[in-house]
Structure 1
Amino acid sequence: MAMMEALGDVLKRMPNGRDALKQADRMMQDLLAEPLVVKLRAKYPELDEHTIKLNLNRVYQHVKEYRTCSNCPGLEQCPNDFEGHYTILSCETVAGFTQLIDRKVPCKRLLARQREQQIRSRVRSFYVDDRALEEGYSAQEILTNDPERMKAAGQVMRYIAKTKEDGLQKQGMFLTGSFGTGKTFLMCYMLHELAKSGFTGVIVYMPDFVEDLKALMHDAGKLKETVDMLKETDLLIFDDMGAENLSPWVRDHVLGAILNYRMNRKPTFYTSNYDLDMLEQHFSFTNREGEELHKGRRLMDRVRPFVETVIVTGHNKRGNHTP
């Protein structure tokens, strides 16, 4: 208080000092009339004008940031001192002395961004365009944008709901259909939705992934790390299965090991232009036909019993923005 009085004496001695004091007093009265300050004083009756005068900067910051947040320009243009945060005030009386306490709290937009980042951190992709994982289409849009795809979309929606309600399923899904009908998008949507409930997921674009696996043959540590991740993730999607140039080594020692571990434990999902019978032929195709037919069938025994088939029909959506 002594400092404020000393400042008042200085202002009085300055030219127009009394006008400055009157202006400051008007500003103080305007601040006291602010609905936010009136509400604050109603919540804390002990908050008198004297305490407010001692904490003008805090009260002003509180009001200014509230106004800014009420007309939020977006996180990227947030003008507050601490991006994505605003000041809230509370009172505490200690030994008869009223203290005004301020603290910064995150706004709803920052919390939403942090939640989205947390969701995305649960999902990893190999060679799949990240934009497919970042689309924000609603369930309604997915169901209605292409009526021909409605049945397939409904199956995926039901799977998502069942997993959210009952927990991780042992059975996955096999999405089959012609090129560009949205199979990958439906799986990315599923990953994103289930990541909101805490499930981790990996989506792998098979043609590129298989070529990288061949290169990892001579890097045992990196190969083990990759295979272990695919074994352990909650949700695993092999995207465009059947389009890869599959070698017997990848089929038997990598895919076979992953699927053998996951069956009856965690769900595996597939998108493919093939149906299950055609995929078995793809797994069996080598120069050593007799032996490889057996191995192809053996791998399919780790796929076929553990998936629900989803036939995805509709229009080719490649090259436009329709999900």
Structure 2
Amino acid sequence: MESLGEMLKAWPTGRTITEQAEQKLAELLAEPLVAKLRAKYPELDDHTIKINMSRVYQYVTEYRNCSDCPGLERCPNDFEGHYTMLGCDTSYGYPQLHDRKVACKKFTARQKEERIRSRIRSFYIDEKALRRGYSSDEILTNDLERAKAVGQLLRYIDRTKEHGLQEEGLYLAGQFGTGKTFLMCYMLQELAKAGYSGVIVYMPDFVEDLKSLMHEPGKLKETVEMMKETDLLIFDDIGAENLNPWVRDHVLGAILNYRMQRKPTFYTSNYELDALERHFSFTSKDGDELHKGQRIMDRIRPYVEVVMVTGENKRGRK
């Protein structure tokens, strides 16, 4: 933003700086915003305004900029997303003008969004699904066939906000494209606003990456610890991964064993629980291992509320 000094220098030649300053003072004194300031602080006289012309000029200019805001990215004020506020202090026996920077509503909203976003980590999930905001009415009316599932989800969110982290998570089961991942992303956003951290993991891609992490034990440990400790952990599309015994028993099993009775874990799947157990009971390497499938399910089944998500397939729908 151009300062008062720079503006005076740019004025046409032939007039002294003093004359230019006097004209600018007269303009500032005639400003409706300055009149409001003087109504608030009756002790604010012309002399005080004159010796604080730069402050008053900045105050008026930034107010005008904010009134015609071009957006945070193009904010013309000296301090992006902030404007100058003026106050008057008479504790010294004479009026003394002081200024301070105040964050605008748009800057405050962006900070809030960034704080919420920082609480959520996603692996292989479309960021648009996490960032797009929806109201509870919108997700309820988007597809009335899944209204019962949405109602269960909203009640779960309310319970968590009111009573803290629940012992049970949610298991969203249903056909392709009914919005299970979308509903989980909505839940993450809502609970992140309440201060909870969350991780959402797309299982098919995650399992493939775990195979390469076998050779990076430090990074593997860091990833597993993060999933153990986050408030809300979502395994998205579980059952669609190409499972191997090591992932099932030493990674997934370790995470679930730690979280049960500590923090809730959530799932979306095309499988119901019995079918998921059959999935976990067979690997291409070792064939049928019913007891190991049951062992994993003992860490899932008792710790979830099952939510059946019905409705039409929305993938590819315009």
Is residue 106 of structure 2 the alignment partner of residue 109 of structure 1? yes
User: In the TM superposition, what is the alpha-carbon distance from 1:26 to its structure 2 partner?
Assistant: 5.7
- Aligned twin of 2:268: 271
Is residue 89 of structure 2 the alignment partner of residue 92 of structure 1? yes
**Which structure 1 segments of 5+ residues have no match?**
1-13
Instruction: Give distance in 1, aligned partners of 2:141 and 2:165.
Output: 27
Is residue 171 of structure 2 the alignment partner of residue 180 of structure 1? no
Name which of structure 1's ranges 260-269 and 25-34 shifts more when overlaid on structure 2. Answer: 25-34
- Aligned twin of 1:280: 277
- Aligned twin of 1:302: 299
- Aligned twin of 1:5: none
The AA in structure 1 aligned to 2:254 is A
- Aligned twin of 2:142: 145
The AA in structure 1 aligned to 2:84 is T
Superposition TM-score, scaled by structure 1 size: 0.89
- Aligned twin of 2:4: none
Superposition TM-score, scaled by structure 2 size: 0.90
Detail structure 1 runs of 4+ shifted over 4 Å in the superposition.
14-18, 23-27, 287-290
- Aligned twin of 2:237: 240
Instruction: Give distance in 2, aligned partners of 1:129 and 1:15.
Output: 63
- Aligned twin of 1:77: 74
Is residue 190 of structure 2 the alignment partner of residue 193 of structure 1? yes
User: In the TM superposition, what is the alpha-carbon distance from 1:31 to its structure 2 partner?
Assistant: 2.4
SS in 2 for 1:218: coil
Is residue 54 of structure 2 the alignment partner of residue 65 of structure 1? no
The correspondence for 1:258, drawn from 249, 255, 260, is 255
Is residue 36 of structure 2 the alignment partner of residue 39 of structure 1? yes
Instruction: Give distance in 2, aligned partners of 1:171 and 1:33.
Output: 65
Deviations 1:83-138 (A, max 9, x none): 11100011223533422111212111011101101110100011111111111122
SS in 2 for 1:270: strand
Deviations 1:254-306 (A, max 9, x none): 1111111111110000000010010000000136556x101101110110111
Is residue 313 of structure 2 the alignment partner of residue 313 of structure 1? no
Name which of structure 1's ranges 305-314 and 230-239 shifts more when overlaid on structure 2. Answer: 305-314
- Aligned twin of 1:9: none
The structure with the larger Rg is 1
Percentage of identical aligned residues: 71
**Which structure 2 segments of 5+ residues have no match?**
1-12
- Aligned twin of 1:171: 168
- Aligned twin of 1:204: 201
User: In the TM superposition, what is the alpha-carbon distance from 1:81 to its structure 2 partner?
Assistant: 1.8
Deviations 1:2-22 (A, max 9, x none): xxxxxxxxxxxx95669x94x
Instruction: Report the number of matched residues.
Output: 305
